[in-house]
Structure 1
Amino acid sequence: MAQFRPFDMEGMPVEEQPMSWKDMIKAPYDKKSVDAYTRTRIILMNGIENNAVIMSHAIERMHPDPGVKKSMAMMRRIDSQQQETINWLNPADQSVIETTLGYEQVAVDLTANLAQNEPDPYVKQTLDFALLEDFDHLYRYSCLYDYIEGGDPEAIVQGKTEVKPGRPTSIEHRHPDESMRKHYDKDTADIKTKMNYITIVAGEQQTMLYYRGHGFMYPDEIARHLYAEIAEIEEQHVTQYGLLGDPNETMLEKMAMTELNEAYLYHSCAATESDPRIKGIWQMFEKMEITHFNECARLIKQYEGRDIHDLVKADVIEPLVVFEQNKDYVNSVIENQLDLAPNNMEFVRMRDLPDNWATFGYQRVMNAKGVPSEEIVSKAGRDLAERDQAENIRKVKQEMARRVEKGMAAVPTR
């Protein structure tokens, strides 16, 4: 695969980037024949573009200079058009739960790829920790798919990602205090860490918003409850991942890194895309984003007096982000980290948690009237349901139940 060398790549003049409606909205893929990882790349890049637009809107409200606002308005309009092109590649006959399974396959194989290529040990540990939770979400939603539509999750994941329990969703609900994380140092962090950070925040943010925006569409009570339950875990993930970033980065620096991340991911997608038509979209959008990155570099030079090379500190960003099978890696993380929990911004074994850990009281409240992610298993077919009886899964549930019973009886208010 060709290396990603942002300073050597050709862009596209910004005045040539706006698209007509017919060019913007392209034919969707066929859900019955699409490769699972073409679907995941589409889901990922939709989230990446959404994040760029959201970030740009936030900065425009805070940055005082009209020149910056004007440049960002143009870049943001193109990012918005790109997002619509990508999202409209999803077919109308793909149901909400089928799309959801694609979202969770993104979460599992994207997080596994980032974790295996993350140079910062603390960031890697955070990725590994949440990986087991998204892995479990794929299983819970697979049970819902079987129950609601009689569907086989293998039709979506195509054997590339395992469907079985991870860290049980029922024990993932934590007091907000335990979403706090340490942030990397913007001056010493590797550029790959910064790219991984932006990628995972955007991916998890999109997942949270999708579940919040679609869970209500089901009339079935358990489906509505399950989407609400997992949406709350995604909110926890967005919070913990967001806090990994250095808050001392300037607004323009954050925007430059966001645009660089877009180009980097389009390059990654194009390098492995099996569908020639969609590969062409990735290649065209990469050129657009290189131009946006260069414009951010110009703004940083003009308004902050800094050279973009001094911020990126690398001519090559590697390795690329690749969707591929990660079964061995995921299983190794399950084996070694299933019973981890966050405490004071570190990850410890459940047995070592203090009795006054805030989450014990929080879980008493959240799970007091039943847990949708547990209830849905009983409604799934025997094969799926039996997977939740694995010894390691039962043990970690029992350990958390024991600690909750021993721990605090009320939610702390700090």
Structure 2
Amino acid sequence: MAQFKPFEMEGMPIEEQPMNWKDMVPAPYDKKAVDAYTRTRIILMNGIENNAVLMSHAIERMHPDPEVKKSMALMRRIDSQQQETINWLNPADQSIVETTLGYEQVAVDLTANLAKNEPDPYVKQTLDFALLEDFDHLYRYSCLYDYIEGGDPDSIVQGKTEVKPGRPTSIEHRHPDDSMRKHYDKDTADIKTKMNYITITAGEQQTMLYYRSHGFMYPDEIARQLYAEIAEIEEQHVTQYGLLGDPNETMLEKMAMIELNEAYLYYSCAQTESDPRIKGIWEKFMKMEITHFDECARLIQKVEGRDIMDVVKADVIEPLVVFEENKDYVNSVIDNQLDLAPQNMEFVRMRDLPDSWASFGYLRVMNAKGVPSEEVVSKAGPSLAERDQAANIRKVKQEVARRVEKGMAAVPAR
């Protein structure tokens, strides 16, 4: 596959980048004909652009240099238009839960791809850990889809991603202390680690925001509760992933990496996109982002006196991010890591956790009146519900239930 070499790629003059309303609102894809991975690329890139806009707003509020503020405003306007173009590719007849299944397919196959290609062992372990939780979310929402709409989740994921339980959502709820993670060193971390960090943080952030802004739209009580429950797990994921980044990176350094990541991902999407019209969007937007990256490089040189190569430290970023089937990889992680839990910024077996583990008390509080992610399974048809009876899933639930009962009765004071 082609390599991404940002310093050799042609950009697009920024004065040519603003779009008119007609171009900004393209025709949506046909949900019955679209390839599942075209849908996931659209979902991912919407989240990537959304993250760029949010970070740019944060920088404008904190950076003292007027020239930086002005450049952020210009790039942000283009990123905003790109985000709307991408998001508007989703069709109006795609229901909330159908879109949700796409979000979770993104989470599973994106996380698996990043983990398989992550050079930092700690970052890889963090990705693998959350992978099993997002995998379970796909199953819980599939049960909701069957219950609410009588839909077959395979009509969305198209058999490319398995639909079965992972680490049960009911035992994923953890005390905030247990979301703490170590950060990479900005001066020694591989550029691929930095790209993976930005990608997964943006993707999970978008998922959290989507569930929070759409879950209340259902009149059904279980549906509303399930979206609230999983939105809270996504908040935990955003926290843990966000903490992987080095806080010593300057604001401009972070923005440069975000713009570089956008170009890298658009290039990645274009290499495997099966829809010619949408591939053209990826190629066009990649050129825009190269120009944004170049502008960030100029600002770093002018404001901080640093050359961009001292930040990137690489001429090539590889491998590309590819949506593809990861069934064997996911199953291997399930086999080896289903019973892992975080403690003191490391991952240990649940049997090795002390009875005083903060999350035992937290679980007791959160699940005191029932668990939506368990209740929704009882509403699904037998072909889906029976999957929750797998021996490994029952065993890990029983172990956590035993430890919760044995452990503290309330969330410990901090």
User: Which deviations, in whole Å up to 9, do the C-alpha atoms of 1:139-162 show, x marking residues without a partner?
Assistant: 000000000000000000000000
SS where residue 348 of structure 1 aligns? strand
What pairs up with 1:220-299 in 2 under 5 angstroms? 220-299=220-299
Any residues of structure 2 matched to 1:1-16 within 5 Å, and which?
1-16=1-16
The residue that corresponds to 1:86 in the other structure is 86
Deviation at 1:2, TM superposition (A): 1.5
Instruction: Give the partner amino acid of 1:149.
Output: E
The 5 A counterparts of 1:302-381 are 302-381=302-381
The corresponding residue for 2:56 is: 56
Segments of 5+ residues of structure 1 without an aligned counterpart are: none
What is the CA–CA distance in structure 1 between the aligned matches of 2:360 and 2:2, rounded to whole Å?
A: 49
Partner of residue 118, structure 1: 118
Using the alignment, how far apart are the partners of 1:79 and 1:190 within structure 2? Answer: 26
Q: RMSD between aligned alpha carbons?
A: 0.3
Shift, 1:180, TM fit: 0.1
Map of 1:148 onto structure 2: 148
Amino acid at match of 2:115: A
Report the Cα distance in structure 1 between the residues aligned to 2:148 and 2:405, rounded to whole angstroms.
34
Q: Counterpart amino acid of 1:312?
A: V
The Cα offsets for residues 61-82 of structure 1, whole Å up to 9 and x where unpaired, read as 0000000000110000000000
CA shift, 1:40, in A, is 0.0
Equivalent AA in structure 1 for residue 321 of structure 2: V
**2:180 matches 1:177:** no
For the residue of structure 2 that corresponds to 1:341, the secondary structure is: strand
Match of 2:367, as an amino acid?
A: N
Q: Structure 1 counterpart of 2:279, which letter? A: K
Deviation by residue 1:176-225 (Cα, 9 ceiling, x = unmatched):
00000000000000000000000000000000000000000000000000
Deviation, 1:310, is: 1.1
Distance in 2 between residues matched to 1:192 and 1:3, nearest whole Å: 13
Cα separation, 2, equivalents of 1:113 and 1:83:
23
Question: How far, CA to CA, are the matches of 1:401 and 1:111 in structure 2?
Answer: 28
Aligned twin of 1:98:
98
3-state secondary structure, aligned to 1:342 = strand
**Counterpart amino acid of 1:357?**
W
Please give the secondary structure, in 2, of the residue aligned with 1:285. Answer: helix
**Which residue of structure 2 aligns with residue 392 of structure 1?**
392
Counterpart for residue 107 of structure 2? 107
Task: State how far apart, in whole Å, the 2-side matches of 1:285 and 1:191 are.
Answer: 21
Q: CA deviation at 1:125?
A: 0.1
Match of 1:29 in 2: 29
Distance in structure 2 (CA, Å) of the matches to 1:41 and 1:15: 27
**What letter corresponds to residue 198 of structure 1 in structure 2?**
I
Separation (CA, whole Å) in 2 of partners of 1:27 and 1:6: 30
Q: 1:184 is aligned with what amino acid?
A: Y
* 2-structure distance, mates of 1:407, 1:346: 20
Question: Take 1:384 and 1:117, find their aligned partners in 2: how far apart are those partners?
Answer: 32
Q: C-alpha displacement at 1:413, in angstroms? A: 1.6
How many Å apart are 1:283 and its aligned residue?
Answer: 0.0
- Cα deviations by residue, 1:372-405 (Å, 9 ceiling, x for unpaired): 0000000000000000000000000000001111
Whole-angstrom CA distance in 1 between matches of 2:246 and 2:267: 25
Q: Secondary structure at the match of 2:62?
A: coil
Letter in 1 for 2:90: N
Amino acid across the alignment from 2:242: G
Deviation at 1:42, TM superposition (A): 0.1
Q: Which residue identity lines up with residue 221 of structure 1 in the other structure?
A: E
Paired residue secondary structure (2:355): coil
Alignment correspondent of 1:205: 205
Report deviation, 1:410. Answer: 1.1
Structure 2 residue 192 is the aligned partner of structure 1 residue 192? yes
Give the match's secondary structure for 1:61.
helix
Give per-residue Cα distances to partners, 1:64-123, cap 9 Å, x unaligned.
000000011000000000000000000000000000000000000000000000000000
Q: Which runs of 4+ in 1 moved over 2 A?
A: none
2:140 alignment partner AA: R
- Give the CA deviation at 1:58: 0.4
Q: Secondary structure at the match of 2:225?
A: helix
Q: Which amino acid aligns with 1:52?
A: A
Within 2, Cα distance between the matches of 1:410 and 1:153?
38
Instruction: Name the aligned partner's letter for residue 364 of structure 1.
Output: R
TM-score of the two chains, using structure 1 as the length reference: 1.00
Distance in structure 2 (CA, Å) of the matches to 1:364 and 1:316: 48
Q: Distance in 2 between matches of 1:354 and 1:188?
A: 34
Q: Which amino acid aligns with 2:39?
A: R
Aligned partners of 2:360 and 2:32: how far apart in 1? Answer: 44
Structure 2: segments with no counterpart, 5+ residues? none
1:3-50 deviation line (CA, Å, top 9, x unaligned) = 100000000000000000001110000000000000000000000000
Could you tell me how far apart the structure 2 residues matched to 1:108 and 1:183 are?
23
Query: Which whole-Å CA distance do the structure 2 matches of 1:313 and 1:343 have between them?
Result: 33
Identical pairs, percent: 90
- Which secondary structure state, in structure 1, belongs to the residue aligned with residue 348 of structure 2? strand
